[in-house]
Structure 1
Amino acid sequence: MRIAIPLTGTRGDVHPIVGLGVELQRRGHQVLLGAPPNLVDFVTAAGLPAQPCGPDVQQLYSSEEGQRALAAGNTLRLMQLVGKQMAEYAERMNREVIEVCAKAELIVASTVTEDRASSIAEAMGVPLVSLHYYPCRMNSAYPFPGLLPAQWNPPAPVNRATWLLAENLRRVVFLRYLNQLRGMLGLPKSYASPAAALARARVPEIQIYDPALVPGLAEQWDSRRPFTGFLTLDEATRTAVGELSGSHDELLAWIESGDPPVFFGFGSMPIRDAAAVFAMVERVSARLGIRALVHAGWSDLDVASTVTADRIKLVRTDFAYDRIFPHCAAAVHHGGIGTLFESLRAGLPTVVCSVSFEQPMWGGQVEKLGVGAHLPFTTLTAERLETALRPLLDADSRRRVRAFARTLRTSGTAEHAADLIEAAVR
């Protein structure tokens, strides 16, 4: 079967889908991934055919406007920013998604491409499956991610109202561009939200995050929204994409030379003043008497010329989390689902310093589940970070997170997703 998977977003959006693509290809399917231009090489290194699809989101986030939107920590403002970028890129994006899907017998979309893929699948008369990285459909257990303070526990009617608001906002922001696409495809205009369109077509929506992170949600949804857990790459693919390249010996030697360090990293979220954040980490580490492993990520921090204390290890190159995290004491990061999965499955108490989108929701869940703490990045100070991190460094916290880790689905998730996709087509 010819399967097209149009994607856009950051590496965190593409990485888990590569694992699924590799598994589908192993089963004999012809898989084509559409990926942001800066990630095409990453996909092809995994052995999957790929072609450019969508804008370079890393470039958008790193721009002055993107930095201001991220610094504000406001999901609606970021949605407007993406909408503005879409206005500049919409026609090209439409063409690219059409080209990725042109010969498909099945389209597998993601949270951020399902709206376009829905119209293309309709025009082509082929089935569609959507993959969701976080809860993005109306329910009464949780509000729309990022719309309300993460520590709130709103009643069911309020939760549902946030979904109505967010779905209508998304419809208003993107409908113009979707109807341009529908015109290109010879389809009539639609005024339905993506959620309504997929529900009407009974499109399977596979939840590629762990149900343990959202207690009670699976019970609210029917079999159209099954959970797989986070999709991981097999060893061969990890080696091929460079995830296991190089030696971890030097880093492990530093870790083993003293007490287990706390990991600090912010993944694909560009930090506007990385030097100030690093100084904050240094102050907190000194106050708590801990060692710190700091990953510079996308920041502009000059690793080579940054002077660090003996208790600090600053790195820029990527490393395999599952090789390093089990040797750490705790983790502090932005709350992207991939990094969150890795820190929790390693049994690390986790402080989520959320930036936007679904990250505040994951931060709230970490706190409510008793496996960590949540601090919006916009409110981050040395004092607040120290207050959040200090109680997570005791033995009881580590035991609690280790117990939670045993409830996570840590193997066979890509295979399960592939089974669900094949079953949906049948």
Structure 2
Amino acid sequence: MTKARHYIFLGMGTLGDIFPFLSLAVEMQKRGHETTMLLAPVHAIHAQKAGITYKILGTQADYDAALSHPDMWDIRKGMGVVLESSKSVLTEMPGYIASLPVEQDYILVAHPLGLPAADIVRSFRTDIPIVAAYLAPSNLRTVHNPLVMGDLFIPQWLPVWMRRWLWTYADKNFIDPVAVPIINQARQARNLSTISSLAAHMYAVPDLSISFFPDWFAPAQPDWPAPLAMGEFQLYDSSTITDLSTELEEFLAAGPAPVIFTPGSGNIQAGHYFLCAQQAVQKLGLRAIFLTSHREQIAAALPANILWQSYLPLRSILPRASVLVHHGGIGTTAEALRAGTPQLITPLAFDQFDNAARIKKLGTGDFIRMSRLTGGRLTRSLQQLLASEVIKNNCTQVAGKFKKTGYADSLCDAIEALQSKQKA
């Protein structure tokens, strides 16, 4: 084991975005290092369950306001909502690190959107190595195939110069007008030079980049940052509960394997999704589990073939499901791949379209854009998916690629190998 250090992990986003960072924190703590998670108030309970020291950034009000914002899941405007709701990271994380003893060695592992705050930290703690942790392939820009930009699936024949122009256009019109003023306000408060582009700034910050996904899911591209350590899916869940409730066990035993529907832990605007789900289930005569902590999103009275659950450990329920219909978050996608469960993805925004395209290419499922979701489309897609022996066989083969344990080992090795810099 290397010399004990203090590893600081900055997690941002919904629960599926937090778990990979907790996975690394738990492993580093096992290796004898001090660890601290920086996260939103709603996720503090999961750090507690993992036995990881934590520091809260932001307020619950900011987090709730983002999830309920009408533009949160808008493919063009959602990033602005996220950046606005998390701007406290730009002031609170540097403030926290400034309060730490200068004689201790630290390494900061940050969510990509936390890299501007990490660069502010670097302005007064030049000795702290910074690691960028990318949760999904679409977090890393490329001009190579496959290329998905938001909900745009770029054809393979499009020349490289036009792909670069598309990224420039996206920066100029959708990303930088929102991100740059927020970041520069925090930088100017510390008399730091301003930035002109979020993407260029982010990729210049880290000493090491790591991926929370394996190369068989998304091979490294020539224009991804270097050095880059490719990892495994971090299949972590803070819950120690693996047994299913008596109610659920009785439901599972009462008939064929159900279809599981979940719009993701952060989606509190999924009423239409569950309406379409109920229509498809009734039309096909299926059994289903509606998984959401927001009960108000589904019908008050459900038929006997549909069971609502507020929470389920995916690792326990997915092997007993016929299909998983979900939003396409990378954590949920990975859990279904591990379980060998066919997936029907209904992407809304962010990395979800790229994840959906990769699932289709792997032959382990299909997708319907949420913007085009109807009961009829969902019915037809489910019917095709349930009838496909090819997809079922592909799911079994892909499930065999997963390690049984040690998901965090190689990434923790790479991070431990980073050398601290000279203190200013």
TM-score, with structure 1 as normaliser: 0.85
Partner of 1:180: 185
The 1:142–1:248 alpha-carbon spacing in structure 2 relative to 1, beyond 3 Å, is farther
Tell me whether 1:31 sits opposite 2:30 in the alignment.
no
Partner of 1:100: 96
Partner of 1:42: 46
Moved more, 293-302 or 333-342: 293-302
Q: How does 1:271-282 map to 2 (within 5 A)?
A: 271-272=268-269, 274=271, 276-282=272-278
SS of the counterpart of 1:69?
Answer: coil
Q: CA deviation at 1:152?
A: 5.0
Q: CA deviation at 1:246?
A: 6.4
Deviations 1:59-88 (A, max 9, x none): 12443xx1x224xx53221123334446xx
What letter matches 2:213 in structure 1?
A: Y
What letter matches 1:309 in structure 2?
A: P
Q: CA deviation at 1:340?
A: 0.7
The 1:279–1:17 alpha-carbon spacing in structure 2 relative to 1, beyond 3 Å, is same
The 1:344–1:84 alpha-carbon spacing in structure 2 relative to 1, beyond 3 Å, is same
Distance 1:175 1:133 in 2: 22
Q: Which protein has the bigger helix share?
A: 1
Q: CA deviation at 1:223?
A: 5.2
Distance 1:400 1:128 in 2: 38
SS of the counterpart of 2:340?
Answer: coil
Identical residues among aligned pairs (%): 23
Distance 2:79 2:205 in 1: 26
Q: CA deviation at 1:356?
A: 0.8
Partner of 2:284: 288
Distance 2:364 2:159 in 1: 24
SS of the counterpart of 2:289?
Answer: strand
Tell me whether 1:401 sits opposite 2:395 in the alignment.
yes
The 1:361–1:297 alpha-carbon spacing in structure 2 relative to 1, beyond 3 Å, is farther
Distance 1:105 1:265 in 2: 38
Q: How does 1:17-416 map to 2 (within 5 A)?
A: 17-56=21-60, 58-63=63-68, 66=69, 68-70=70-72, 73-85=73-85, 90=87, 92-102=88-98, 103=100, 105-125=106-126, 126-135=128-137, 136-142=139-145, 146-150=149-153, 152-153=155-156, 155=158, 157=160, 158-168=162-172, 169-186=174-191, 188-191=192-195, 193-197=197-201, 199-200=203-204, 203-214=207-218, 216-218=219-221, 221=224, 224-233=227-236, 238=237, 241-244=238-241, 247-272=244-269, 274=271, 276-298=272-294, 300-301=296-297, 306-316=300-310, 318-394=311-387, 395-408=389-402, 411-416=405-410
Distance 1:199 1:84 in 2: 20
Distance 1:8 1:338 in 2: 14
Alpha carbon RMSD of aligned pairs, Å? 2.7
Q: CA deviation at 1:244?
A: 1.1
The 1:226–1:155 alpha-carbon spacing in structure 2 relative to 1, beyond 3 Å, is farther
Q: Give structure 2 stretches of 5+ with no counterpart.
A: none
Q: CA deviation at 1:352?
A: 0.6
Q: Give structure 1 stretches of 5+ with no counterpart.
A: none
Deviations 1:259-304 (A, max 9, x none): 1111111122424352x5434222211222321111123452368x
The 1:160–1:424 alpha-carbon spacing in structure 2 relative to 1, beyond 3 Å, is farther
Deviations 1:118-145 (A, max 9, x none): 2212431121001011232331235775
CA contact (8 A) 2:318 2:339 kept: yes
CA contact (8 A) 1:265 1:297 kept: no
Moved more, 377-386 or 144-153: 144-153
TM-score, with structure 2 as normaliser: 0.86
Q: CA deviation at 1:195?
A: 4.2
Distance 1:222 1:62 in 2: 31
Aligned residues: 405
